[in-house]
Amino acid sequence: MLNASTRTAALYDRVRRVIPSIEWPAFADDIEAILDLKRQRNAVILAHNYQTPEIFHCVADIVGDSLALARKAMTAEADVIVLAGVHFMAETAKLLNPQKTVLIPDLRAGCSLADSITAEDIRLLRQRYPGVPIVTYVNTSAEVKAESDICCTSGNAKAVVESLGVPRVIMLPDEYLAQNIAAQTDVQIIAWKGHCEVHERFTPTDIRQLRENHPGVTVLAHPECPPEVVAEADFSGSTAAMSDYVGRQKPARVVLMTECSMSDNVAVEHPEVEFIRPCNLCPHMKRITLANIRAALEQNRHVVTIDPQIAGRARLAVERMLGLADATPLDRFAPASPKVHQ
Ligand code: 13P
Ligand code: SF4
């Protein structure tokens, strides 16, 4: 009789460049069970680009950056959505699918940006800057979104800021994203002091050393990196924009200044590109595993709920963003459309 590893051999073929064969038997059982549970429960799995390759390439139905996940969550035809990502992403999916069951496999999958600001902070900012619109990064709680005028992601932040037609906006909570956008627009931006614990650790010295050690390397940096890092990079964009850049430009050597799994996931699709891999791990994204995705589907946990008083206003802020026709990516060097790969 065939074992799970043999039965899932075709899936292993997709990821063999980034997962050693010795590790596959540890994944095969859970992958088979998850594929079966998805059918039984009419469930879809939405996975962020930072999920590990066995999740991203082997069980996910929809993958992408935060913007793509929010957009695709809106049209997901399923009774159950499992969010393989962090809590704010699961909340966004729930806001856009109030009738569906949204599950997050581990409630501890948080985010340093979401933790950096509260709804009360926003109310105080409104008092301090009356009439100045508040643009909130999706990396925030539903309570914070509910106090905001419109949301943005790293893929559309500039377009959102400029869509408001005002000379000054408050953009929070990511100070570096706000500064990186401010460098590209005439709109004056008032920032908050939140930082991504993964991207704040990259430095310009890292980039200089990479260029010295790997001549000709193309450096892509996420806009949650400090502005001095983005300034030294060849391109800056959301995770989807970075993946798209590699696909279009096919650099011989590339380094992605972002979370570690991103390189693995993009490398699977571009075997001809050499990936140099210094990276920082997001401990929150790494809370999600095949084992807890399986448990989420088996035990219907953890169900994401949002207070209806908050949900209505938070949904409006997300829907305003999604309603923008021109949600172009943050893209300093080459215009590109954010890619939703499925
Ligand atoms: P994007 O995928 O939208 O670029 O966001 C990166 C991120 O840090 C999500 O937590
Ligand atoms: Fe939050 Fe940064 Fe982790 Fe994304 S990578 S979830 S922004 S801590």
The CATH number linked to 263 is 3.40.50.10800
Atom of ligand 2 nearest to the CA of 197: 8
Q: Rounded mean pLDDT of the chain?
A: 93
Residue 39 near residue 251 (C-beta atoms within 8 A) = no
Q: Is residue 330 part of a domain?
A: no
Q: State whether 8 and 93 are in the same domain.
A: yes
Q: Is residue 291 part of a domain?
A: yes
Q: State whether 40 and 138 are in the same domain.
A: no
Average pLDDT over residues 155-183: 97
Q: State whether 54 and 81 are in the same domain.
A: yes
Q: State whether 258 and 298 are in the same domain.
A: no
- Angle separating helix axes 260-269 and 239-249, nearest 10 degrees: 30
> Residue 328 — pLDDT band, cuts 50, 70, 90?
very low
Mark which of 166, 195, 224 sits at the end of a domain: 195
Atom of ligand 2 nearest to the CA of 50: 5
Q: Is residue 319 part of a domain?
A: no
Q: Is residue 329 part of a domain?
A: no
The predicted structure's pLDDT at residue 103: 98
How do residues 73-96 score in pLDDT, each as one tens digit? 888 889 999 999 999 999 999 999
Q: Is residue 241 part of a domain?
A: yes
Among residues 245, 270, 271, 242, the alpha carbon closest in space to that of 258 is found at 242
The predicted structure's pLDDT at residue 184: 96
Q: What range does the domain containing 248 cover?
A: 204-276
pLDDT at 249 over 70: yes
Mark which of 276, 294, 325 sits at the end of a domain: 276
- Angle separating helix axes 290-299 and 24-41, nearest 10 degrees: 30
Q: State whether 247 and 291 are in the same domain.
A: no
Nearest ligand to the CA of 197 is 2
Q: State whether 168 and 106 are in the same domain.
A: no
The predicted structure's pLDDT at residue 325: 59
Q: Is 153 in the pocket of ligand 1 (CB under 6 A)?
A: yes
Q: State whether 106 and 19 are in the same domain.
A: yes
Look up the pTM and report it: 0.93
Q: Separation of 56 CA from ligand 2 center, angstroms? A: 17
The predicted structure's pLDDT at residue 229: 98
Q: Is 156 in the pocket of ligand 1 (CB under 6 A)?
A: no
Q: State whether 138 and 228 are in the same domain.
A: no
Lowest mean pLDDT among 58-72, 181-195, 241-255: 58-72
Q: State whether 156 and 185 are in the same domain.
A: yes
* Residue, of 329 and 57, whose pLDDT is higher: 57
Q: Separation of 7 CA from ligand 1 center, angstroms? A: 34
Q: Is residue 320 part of a domain?
A: no
Q: Is residue 331 part of a domain?
A: no
Q: State whether 86 and 120 are in the same domain.
A: no
> Residue 278 — pLDDT band, cuts 50, 70, 90?
confident
Atom of ligand 1 nearest to the CA of 237: 4
Tokens of 131: 């009439």
Nearest Cα residue to atom 2 of ligand 2 = 196
For 117, phi then psi, to 5°, come to: -150, 145
Average pLDDT over residues 109-130: 98
Q: Is 282 in the pocket of ligand 2 (CB under 6 A)?
A: yes
Q: State whether 94 and 15 are in the same domain.
A: yes
Q: Is residue 334 part of a domain?
A: no
Q: What is the CA radius of gyration of the chain?
A: 20
Lowest mean pLDDT among 67-81, 98-112, 263-277: 67-81
Distance, CA of 188 to CA of 169 (rounded, Å): 6
pLDDT at 266 over 80: yes
Distance, CA of 76 to CA of 78 (rounded, Å): 6
Q: Is 136 in the pocket of ligand 2 (CB under 6 A)?
A: no
Q: Is 260 in the pocket of ligand 2 (CB under 6 A)?
A: no
Strand 134-137 vs strand 274-276: parallel, antiparallel, or unpaired?
unpaired
Nearest ligand to the CA of 287 is 2
Ligand 1, residues 46, 50, 220: which to mutate, most atoms within 8 A of Cβ?
A: 50
DSSP letters for 137-151: ESSS-HHHHHT-SEE
The predicted structure's pLDDT at residue 338: 28
Q: State whether 82 and 129 are in the same domain.
A: no
